[in-house]
Chains A and B, each alone.
Chain A
Amino acid sequence: MNEILEVKNIGKKYQNKAGEVQALKNVNFRVKKGEFVSIIGPSGCGKSTLLSIIAGLEEKTEGEIYIESERVEGISSKVGYMLQRDCLLEWRNILSNTLFGLEIKGIKTKENIEYVKELLKKYNLYDFINKYPSELSGGMRQRVALIRTLAVKPKILLLDEAFSALDYQTRIMVTEDIYSILRKEDITTIMVTHDISEAISMADRVLVLSKRPGTIKEIHKIDFEMENRTPINCRQNPKFSKYFDCLWKELGVDEK
């Protein structure tokens, strides 16, 4: 079984006093193990909603989610979720922040703590474990947040505009770092972004959502045919602008 996630016919209607909002409609796609999938779409089309449904944080009104062929209801321990902000707890030091998920799940075992320390060492954060979040740069904080998510060993990682709060240069660097971490740890990833370049530079496939109610309009395969692919050298590849133009047009159709 090479397939890790199946999103089947997902629909979502939000209810509130003002009325109801159909955020998603008939969303279908599958993700293979180890794959990196980007999702782009106009703002308000339901991208965050889709990730929240996959993570089990938001109830769906239609459809089913299967992870490793098992139907999932509610929050799944196989899914890790990283939000736009790093959401580090300012009152805990870095080590304690990275152990937060393990602590919540009651699996703060010796082995797991060792694993986290390994990750911190591997990704150059070990010297900072006794520091507090406010003493770290934005890029480092984002890496700490990633390690906190990876600590509980998720099979699928969801990133919701996880880099958009960073300034441009930091963002390119963090994308580079995080991409290499995800590839090394062989994590299946679904990343939502509003940045077409970012989507292309990391993804094996890009899903384009239509405007609300969001549904999948197009799926683009991205293949740079490179040995050691990284986001930066993708950006320098001649194929990059071709993909960019294609997706730009795809998104533009809805804008008018």
Chain B
Amino acid sequence: MKNNGISKERKKYLNKVKKNKLLIILTQILILVGFLAIWEILANKDVIDSFITSQPSRILKTFMNLKSNDLLMHTKVTVYETLVGFGLGTILGVAIAIILWWSKFLAKVSEPFLVVLNSLPKVALGPIIIIWVGSGTSAIIAMAILISVIVTVLEMLNGYLKTDKEIIKMARTFNCTKLQLLTKIVIPANIGTFINSLKVNIGLSLVGVISGEFLVSKAGLGYLIVYGGQVFKLDLVMTSVIILGIVAGIMYGGVLLLEKFIRK
């Protein structure tokens, strides 16, 4: 790093790295554009039935016409539910993991329950949730929480319990309290695990929200997808799926930003 005069070889190497990166991005764009173009052409030539497969230009039209299908409103609903489910699921998961780290006894007691709950397909609990908390936004958020919380607990607890024993010993030599151990060693040492949990939870809370919307069927992209499928509005279904992809991408970007901020 000290050497500011970059050598020829170094320049060559850096150029090569840059070129390689560019090539990858170009190929990715090419694949995407090619796929859309072929889709569009095949649909135009009636090789595939655009009634069943939809078609990029029609998706774009639907997308541009956000108001006609209340797309914007439905997107807002889904984003709101996902954010709330994601936030609460993560907070709850971390809180439970901390409690279980604190009490080895509780951790041992809850182990089999957590394992079973983790393998259980949470969607199967959907109807029960709707009966318990009512058929509305809260049921959908409950689904999102349910799906993300158990994984978060297991991941975070695993990280906490695996905190470097030598470092814990070092902290103990200063006679640190358990609370200090938690806040000054265990939690900061597991920031990486936490970021990973966030990344995983974006996907999981979206699964929770969409399957919740399937079941509740009142609003949201999940509702649009079910509705569009039933009335054979494939343009609407495809557009909703694409918006979902964009939402997921933006949230992921948000977590990456957070990660950069924390690890600056």
Interface 1/0s, chain A 122-153, versus B by CB < 8 A? Answer: 00000000000000000000000000010010
Do the beta carbons of A104 and B166 come within 8 Å of each other? no
Do the beta carbons of A55 and B166 come within 8 Å of each other? no
Distance in angstroms from A73 CB to nearest chain B CB is: 13
Do the beta carbons of B191 and A85 come within 8 Å of each other? no
Do the beta carbons of A105 and B174 come within 8 Å of each other? yes
A101 contact from B164, B166, B174, B191, Cβ within 8 A: B174
Interface 1/0s, chain B 147-178, versus A by CB < 8 A? Answer: 00000000000000000101101111111100
Do the beta carbons of B173 and A81 come within 8 Å of each other? yes
With A85-B166, A89-B167 already in contact, the answer to whether A55 and B188 are too (CB < 8 A) is no
Please tell me if B28 contacts chain A, counting CB pairs below 8 Å. no
Which residues of A from 77 to 104 have beta carbons under 8 Å from B?
A: 77, 79-81, 83-85, 87, 89, 91, 100-101, 103-104
Cα(A79)–Cα(B174), bound, Å: 9
Cα(A85)–Cα(B164), bound, Å: 11
Count of interface residues, chain B, beta-carbon cutoff 8 Å: 17
Interface 1/0s, chain B 83-111, versus A by CB < 8 A? Answer: 00000000000000000000000000000
Interface of B is mostly: helix
Please tell me if B185 contacts chain A, counting CB pairs below 8 Å. yes
Count of interface residues, chain A, beta-carbon cutoff 8 Å: 20
Q: Which residues of B contact A79 (CB under 8 A)?
A: 173
Do the beta carbons of B169 and A104 come within 8 Å of each other? no
Please tell me if B15 contacts chain A, counting CB pairs below 8 Å. no
Please tell me if A75 contacts chain B, counting CB pairs below 8 Å. yes
Distance in angstroms from A34 CB to nearest chain B CB is: 22
Do the beta carbons of B167 and A57 come within 8 Å of each other? no
For B170, the closest partner residue in chain A by CB is: A87
Do the beta carbons of B173 and A57 come within 8 Å of each other? yes
Distance in angstroms from B195 CB to nearest chain A CB is: 13
Q: Which residues of B contact A55 (CB under 8 A)?
A: 173
